[in-house]
Structure 1
Amino acid sequence: MTARAGFNPDESPLARLASRGGRGGGAFLDASETIAGERLRADFTRGQLMPGITQRWDSQPRQARGSAGSRDLSDSAIDARRRVDAAVVAVGPELSGVLLDVCCFLKGLEVVERERQWPARSAKLMLKAGLGVLARHYGIDAARQSGRPTIRRWGTADYRPTIGGGLEG
């Protein structure tokens, strides 16, 4: 994973999980799962969805989300919020909470397990399942990300190639 502006891979729980080995000797998270999680995090950040924790020194009261205060958001922030909403809906309520906690709020797996009163090491499995669904939602292919060749074809779903047919003039 390469570093880019505004992104510190050392603070990402996904980067740590992607570097750790799984049972078969390979990484616990494959490239598509890691990319999907970081894409969710990037949209969450662009959408300015992180709650404010600092003192506001202006005289304007803070407005509720979705009210007139959303006029101040740029179009790219609004689009990022829509992408986060679509991703959360695609993943479903069962897995979206752990994805948001780990990918966006940068909580550790132990913290998620303690807050949700889950058994040890269960958040790791739930996260992997959620990232797999998220990668499918984003259309990120694990084979393409790993450098393995994939078979691609162009055509409609009912397209059937002919065998033995050449160019006839």
Structure 2
Amino acid sequence: MQALAEIKQGDPARALQPLDGLQPVSVPGRLAQALALSGAAVMGFADPALGTVKAAECRTLALATGERSTLVVASWAQAAAAHARDDLHAASERTSWTRTRCANVGFHLFDRIYGARIAAAGDPAVALARVEEAERAVRGPLETCPGCRITLAVPAAIASARAGDRRRASCSGSRGRARRSTSRG
């Protein structure tokens, strides 16, 4: 996850350092490595072919586990790898623009990753700890978009309610009502 944090911070060169020679054995470790390599490839700092290979390995692993959250994260790695292959081999003007536009790819991935981790937690206390971790790592609307944010907000609200943290559980609901009421004029 440290490499993913570096990708999120916009420092793919630094993110690749701890990955050099690393061979994770756990499913979460392999998924994190594939996402980091694919994300770095999108930003032009890693070989798209390596991201593609690692993403394909994770997809196979995810299919073998049968866990929905693992399948979702593996598909993100594959999508990022595909994006890197297309953009990094395009015309130089298009590639430069795409690299700039995609520098925030880590933000979108973090919402989805933390949302999947929260949803996959079997124990309410573990899920709530993951909500708290996500609150520290994902810093709100400047780092995300509404489409991606919901992949974190919904699992976080459900996990908070199940763990008995009504304040956290109701936060996203009250924000939604406030937006609706102000949009009516």
Whether TM-score is above 0.5 comes out as no
RCO (CA 8 Å, sep 6+): is it higher in 1 or 2? 1
User: Which protein has the larger Cα radius of gyration, Structure 1 or Structure 2?
Assistant: 1
TM-score w.r.t. the length of structure 1 is: 0.31
Q: TM (normalized to structure 2)?
A: 0.30
More helix by share: 2
